[in-house]
Amino acid sequence: MTYRFKATERYWHAFYALPPAQKESVRAAWKIFKLDPFDARLGTHKIHRLSARYRLNIFSVVIEGDLRAVFYVEGNLVVTIDLGTHDIYKA
């Protein structure tokens, strides 16, 4: 499937707040993510608590260590919601 991508303002705010080394990690993960958000190298997994709250299938990918990106898919549109530690699962 060919995906289209959109990031929320919240995601961009979190991205620009990261230190340079983590921004590079996000960029490296993005190269994989844009080809396939469910690529095994990203450790993509469903976040059940957020999925129940928003009534959408919310997924997370591992960027590095405790840094995650959270997204959902509607048809061929992938919407990246937020970026941060596991604390974003509580948002």
Per-residue pLDDT of 5-24, as tens digits, reads 999 999 999 999 999 999 99
The fold of the 4-90 domain, in CATH, is: YaeB-like fold (3.30.2310)
The per-residue pLDDT for 86 is 83
CA atoms within 13 A on the CB side of 50: 18
Query: 10 Å Cβ neighbour count for 58?
Result: 22
pLDDT digits (tens, 9 = 90+) for 32-81: 999 999 999 999 999 999 899 889 999 999 999 999 999 999 999 999 99
Going from N- to C-terminal start, the domains of the chain cover 4-90
pTM of the full predicted structure? Answer: 0.92
